[in-house]
Structure 1
Amino acid sequence: MLKIAICDDVVEVTSQLDKMLIELGKKHSVLVEIDVFFSGVELLNHIMDENSFDLIFLDIEMEDMDGIQLGLKIRNDMMDDSTQIAYISGKQSYAMDLFQIRPIDFLIKPLHLEHVEELFLTALRIINSKNSYFQYKKGHTYNKIESKDIIYFESDDRKINIITKDSRDSFYGSMDYVYDKVKNLGFLYIHKSYLVNNLYIRSYLYDRVIMSNNIELPISQSRRKSMREKLIRLVGGGE
């Protein structure tokens, strides 16, 4: 799935782009989830509330916070280099201003489907080829860990512990939030308190798994059947 944000204060532009992206998703068999914002501040607040996107279409000329200011906050303040940013504008005179934001492309209004499609496919290739990261907020700091290094997540009251191959960290959040971010990356929700990376399951038993660090984690009774079915699919259908 490709999570996309469109941010432009002109309703006609957001509507047109939204329709184009839905059409391109269908054409290329890609599930797209699109959120539309009409101001930079609105999008910034949404991101600050622990929401993330794979691709952001960002208008430059907006009144409350222009696209350049928002792009700099995403890149510098949030230290987010993985989100692809595509700028849209009625002017062509912003190239040097955008240099340090490293946008994937720059589209001139009015938008044309063939240009949006080219950008869409480029973003898809980049996103699919990059290492996947789990991003989380700890205090006022944004952190990210390569998902392939995470052995499991553990819920401890309102705190989520992240156990990796080499370290342990924690942040305040919910397991449902974590699962929504990693469910397509080979993680299994074996228990309300444990979310494990299939890559590090050393042994699978009826009621528990043994991880590569020799930690045994329980599989809740209500999830045992579904976990077995998922594991069979992940290893290619073998018993």
Structure 2
Amino acid sequence: MFQIAVCDDIPEIVRQVCSVLEGSALSGQIHIEDYSSGAALAQQLRAGARYDLLILDIELDEVDGVSIGHLLRDELRDSAAQILYISGRQQYAMALFDTRPLNFLLKPLDEAKLLDCVAQAIRLARPGEALLTVLVNRSPQTLTARSVRYIESYHKRVTLHTVQGELVCRDKLESLARQLPDALFVRIHQSFLVNILYVSRVQYDRLTLDDGTQLSVSQSYRRAVRSRMMKAAPWQDGPEGDGFRPLADEVGR
């Protein structure tokens, strides 16, 4: 079951979001928990509650939606959960980069767009259930595709950089690529496969991951990488090539 948290201090917004989702074709796939306080949601997250998607108002009580995003990404080190921000003020969009949201929706909510965003989050979550089996010290080891940040091939040695640490395996990069879900991984170089869940910034010739790691995008892959990342989330490079910024048609509605 796909776990969703909805947090807004306006009860009518919470009821609207829950009603739209529970009355949709997605209802059989989701479980929703609602919160009227950012502080209450933060307390539950610190206590171990985990969600696949958080739908957050930005202007909450003493713990606002952006603070919850930083709690999730920085303190809890959760890069897999998706965040969908909602707000009545579009100027907040530019402050959201570091929390790597799935999208940003303006109030009053476009219900069709809300459903599209939740459906996208579900599609991104499902490939993470895929398992990857590799040979480490001549022994097979299995891990989830979602836990792999990126894979690097160098001098006939393949290293998996995972959320738990590094694994050096005997497999070839091409054989690992065939096991990985296309919805999560993008080839950026002959030597690199990257999980888009952990990409925090895209520039012309490199990607930056959520932990600060920078990886080169080779010239032959740049067009394909940019196209792939634009499909993954509604962000694009700024006019000076200085990283993600929201698309105007997404934040201007």
TM-score (norm 1): 0.53
Paired residue for 2:59, among 49, 58, 61? 61
Paired position in structure 2 for 1:81: 79
After TM superposition, the structure 1 = structure 2 runs for residues 37-48 of structure 1, keeping only pairs within 5 Å, are 37-48=35-46
User: Contact 1:2–1:30 at 8 Å: present in 2 too?
Assistant: no
SS state at 2:84 partner: strand
Shift of 1:63: 2.1
Paired position in structure 2 for 1:13: 13
Paired position in structure 2 for 1:124: 122
* Letter matched to residue 86 of structure 1: L
Is 1:90 matched up with 2:85? no
Shift of 1:29: 6.2
SS state at 2:62 partner: coil
Query: Take 1:29 and 1:50, find their aligned partners in 2: how far apart are those partners?
Result: 24
Structure 1 or 2, whichever has the larger Rg, is 1
User: Contact 2:6–2:33 at 8 Å: present in 1 too?
Assistant: yes
After TM superposition, the structure 1 = structure 2 runs for residues 30-179 of structure 1, keeping only pairs within 5 Å, are 30-131=28-129, 146-147=143-144
Q: Deviations over 1:202-234 (max 9, x none)?
A: xxxxxxxxxxxxxxxxxxxxxxxxxxxxxxxxx
Query: Take 1:32 and 1:129, find their aligned partners in 2: how far apart are those partners?
Result: 16
* Letter matched to residue 53 of structure 2: L
User: Contact 2:85–2:103 at 8 Å: present in 1 too?
Assistant: yes
Shift of 1:120: 1.2
User: Contact 2:42–2:63 at 8 Å: present in 1 too?
Assistant: no
Query: Take 2:89 and 2:129, find their aligned partners in 1: how far apart are those partners?
Result: 34
Query: Take 2:93 and 2:105, find their aligned partners in 1: how far apart are those partners?
Result: 11
SS state at 2:9 partner: coil
Shift of 1:147: 5.0
Residue 113 to residue 79, structure 1, CA distance change in 2 (3 Å): same
Paired position in structure 1 for 2:4: 4
RMSD: 2.5
User: Contact 1:6–1:34 at 8 Å: present in 2 too?
Assistant: yes
Q: Deviations over 1:108-137 (max 9, x none)?
A: 11112211111011111111122579xxxx
Query: Take 1:12 and 1:38, find their aligned partners in 2: how far apart are those partners?
Result: 10
State the identity as a percent.
34
Unaligned runs of 5+ in 2: 132-141, 146-165, 168-253
* Letter matched to residue 64 of structure 2: D
Q: Deviations over 1:162-182 (max 9, x none)?
A: xxxx99xxxxxxxxxxxxxxx
Paired position in structure 2 for 1:151: none
Moved over 2 A (4+): 28-31, 130-133, 145-148
Query: Take 1:34 and 1:132, find their aligned partners in 2: how far apart are those partners?
Result: 24
Structure ranking higher on relative contact order (CA contacts 8 Å, 6+ apart) = 2
Residue 2 to residue 13, structure 1, CA distance change in 2 (3 Å): same
Residue 21 to residue 28, structure 1, CA distance change in 2 (3 Å): closer
Shift of 1:64: 1.4
SS state at 2:91 partner: coil
SS state at 1:95 partner: helix
